Amino acid sequence: MDAIVVWEVSKRFGKVQAVDRVSLEVPYGSIMGLVGPNGAGKTTLLRCVCGLRRMDAGQVLELSKGQKQKIHLATAMIREPTVLALDEPLIGIDPKGARVLKDWIRERTRAGAGGIVSSHSLSLIEEVCDRVAIMDHARITAQGTLEELRQRVAAERGTSLEEIFLRITEGADHEAA
């Protein structure tokens, strides 16, 4: 069984063919070295393998969605970014990894970073975000701190983001109908 299978992957940037029908297999228990001069296509190929770059043709197997997610997050974490843009960062992440990620987001925020975390996991949003924007029907329908959103729907202290979200979007569903 192979850890990574790359089959006929191609990627073009305008007139430049960065990767041209590359195929390779990497079995579990093996590490493949990818070498070549600058501009050979190594980085583009690896970005395609990790799902960071869309390929024009071909197929990449054996990285699972969770493994790809971990690679994306590890890449972000190494750089200590000051701006975060995380889309569904917990997908495919186990509970221990989720804890590490949440701690890292809070750490980056304490260090002065700002950004956006998009997630269906309202508990994640509640845990790591200072402010919340609720989007529905292609628009921001409410935004503010959790307490400000509670006030907006006349909810008592301690009401979950899930309950607030449901109240706000339920009203928007009725208005759209």
2-63 carries CATH number 3.40.50.720:
no
Q: pLDDT tens across 95-107, in order?
A: 998 999 999 999 9
Q: pLDDT tens across 30-84, in order?
A: 777 777 677 888 888 888 887 888 999 999 887 667 777 777 788 778 788 888 8
Compare 119 and 173 and report the one with higher pLDDT: 119
Type of residue at 145: T
Q: What is the rounded CA–CA span in Å between residue 150 and residue 41? A: 51
- In three-state secondary structure terms, 102 is helix
Chain centre distance of CA 174: 31
Multiple choice CATH, 67-176, 3.50.50.100, 3.40.50.300, 3.30.70.60, 3.40.630.30: 3.40.50.300
In this prediction, residue 172 has a pLDDT band, given cuts at 50, 70 and 90, of low
Compare 156 and 36 and report the one with higher pLDDT: 156
Distinct helix (H) and strand (E) counts, the chain: 6, 7
Most distant pair of Cα atoms in the chain: their distance: 63
Domain borders along the chain are 2-63, 67-176
The pLDDT assigned to 58 comes to 95
pLDDT at 173 exceeding the cut of 70: no
pLDDT at 174 exceeding the cut of 60: no
The pLDDT assigned to 88 comes to 83
CA distances from 174 to 138, 142, 149, 168, 171 (A): 15, 16, 19, 10, 5
